[in-house]
């Protein structure tokens, strides 16, 4: 792995012309050469990367289905994420589009320095890319052209503010388009919710929860072949709840079932549901139902 600290260093590695601005660069992907076999394939970037690409004859698995990249796809990488280039990709795939590199120093002392970190799509996996419609891609490309035009002009006291404002607009559109994608890919996304419910039911139906405790969001996401942030974003749009809330709802449903249909003590129920301490179980149950486990059981007596 090789760490790339500056945009200039990235340009040099890929044998591109010197960047026109030290802290931001828009690159035509068709100008990026293929790597030779002795060059590093895994790069650790110290800056943000946003890309929109069209890749002919290339498919990606998304959930239980495959999608092609004939549509424009958009993906995001935050600093300190590993950027991997597969051998032969650049030679064998017909690519078009652009890549924009943004050094965090560009955002220093601007509102975007804080808000950029709040976007969850920086943590999405590559198979969770944003699939753009033709209209959406035109909007994004228009913003990129504005950025390109601005940093190619003479730098003045307004340049940084204008560029960061355009970047902020770009990210807001991306957030809007992801929200649309969660809704329009209805079949795949609702299949994910169904698989989530089945997975949680399996956890609580056997001794997994009792022996290992509640599953984490990371564990659930891995079994669904999704990144934790993408899963939570999708669930919030479709159900209004996060992954953690889904886990807790399933837990409370099982707790209610045991409290109303068994003679197990509340301590035994807490243990069977993966809690080491009764107090933790009682606190969560009351927070979710507004009554204590004892009061809930009494209502059935």
* Residue located via tokens 């943004």: 102
Q: Residue 48 has which token pair?
A: 């943000």
Q: What are phi and psi of 17, to 5 degrees?
A: -60, 155
Q: What are phi and psi of 72, to 5 degrees?
A: -70, 135
Transcribe 97-121 into DSSP letters.
EEEEEE-HHHHTTSTHHHHGGG-GG
Contact 165, 110 (CB under 8 A): no
Rounded to whole angstroms, the Cα distance separating 227 from 64 reads: 15
Transcribe 62-77 into DSSP letters.
ETTEEEESSSEEEEEE
Contact 260, 300 (CB under 8 A): yes
Whole-number pLDDT of residue 294: 92
Q: Strand 65-68 relative to strand 95-102: parallel, antiparallel, unpaired?
A: unpaired
Whole-number pLDDT of residue 89: 47
Rounded to whole angstroms, the Cα distance separating 288 from 281 reads: 11
Q: What is the CA radius of gyration of the chain?
A: 24
Contact 4, 13 (CB under 8 A): yes
Whole-number pLDDT of residue 298: 87
* Residue located via tokens 């974003």: 233
Contact 191, 64 (CB under 8 A): yes
Segments of the chain scoring below 50 in pLDDT: 60-69, 87-91
Whole-number pLDDT of residue 63: 43
Q: Which residues contact 224 (CB under 8 A, 6 or more apart)?
A: 192, 195, 196, 199, 231
Q: What is the DSSP letter of 153?
A: S
Instruction: Name which of 229, 234, 223 is nearest 195 in CA terms.
Output: 223
Whole-number pLDDT of residue 40: 60
Instruction: Name which of 190, 93, 173 is nearest 133 in CA terms.
Output: 173
pTM higher than 0.85: no
Whole-number pLDDT of residue 60: 47
Rounded to whole angstroms, the Cα distance separating 271 from 256 reads: 14
Give me the domains of the chain, ranges plus CATH numbers: 2-184 (2.60.120), 187-298 (1.10.10.60)
Rounded to whole angstroms, the Cα distance separating 184 from 192 reads: 14
Three-state DSSP at 298 gives: helix
Rounded to whole angstroms, the Cα distance separating 49 from 180 reads: 22
């Amino acid at each position: 792995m090789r760490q790339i600290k500056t945009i200039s260093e990235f340009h040099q590695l890929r044998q591109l012309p010197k960047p026109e601005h030290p802290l931001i660069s828009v690159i035509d992907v068709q100008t990026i050469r293929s790597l030779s076999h002795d060059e590093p394939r895994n790069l650790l970037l110290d800056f943000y990367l946003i890309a929109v690409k069209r890749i002919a004859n290339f498919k990606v698995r998304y959930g239980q289905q495959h999608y092609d990249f004939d549509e424009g796809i958009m993906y995001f990488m935050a600093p300190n994420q590993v950027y991997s280039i597969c051998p032969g990709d650049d030679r064998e795939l017909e690519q078009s589009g652009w890549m924009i590199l943004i050094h965090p120093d560009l955002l220093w002392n601007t509102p975007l320095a804080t808000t950029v970190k709040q976007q969850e799509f920086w943590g999405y996996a590559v198979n969770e890319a944003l699939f753009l419609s033709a209209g959406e891609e035109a909007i994004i490309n228009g913003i990129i052209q504005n950025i390109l035009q601005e940093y190619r002009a003479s730098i003045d006291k307004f340049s940084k503010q204008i560029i960061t404002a355009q970047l902020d607009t770009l990210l807001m559109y991306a957030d809007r388009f992801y929200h649309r994608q969660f809704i329009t890919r209805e079949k795949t996304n609702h299949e994910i919710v169904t698989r989530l419910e089945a997975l949680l039911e399996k956890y609580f139906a056997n001794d997994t929860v009792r022996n290992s405790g509640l599953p984490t969001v990371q564990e659930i996401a891995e079994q669904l072949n999704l990144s934790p942030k993408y899963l939570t974003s999708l669930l919030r749009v479709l159900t209004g709840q996060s992954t953690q809330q889904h886990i807790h709802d399933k837990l409370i449903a099982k707790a209610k079932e045991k409290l109303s249909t068994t003679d197990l003590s509340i301590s035994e129920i807490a243990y069977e549901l993966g809690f080491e301490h009764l107090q933790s179980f009682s606190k969560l149950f009351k927070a979710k139902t507004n009554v204590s486990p004892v009061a809930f059981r009494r209502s059935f007596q």
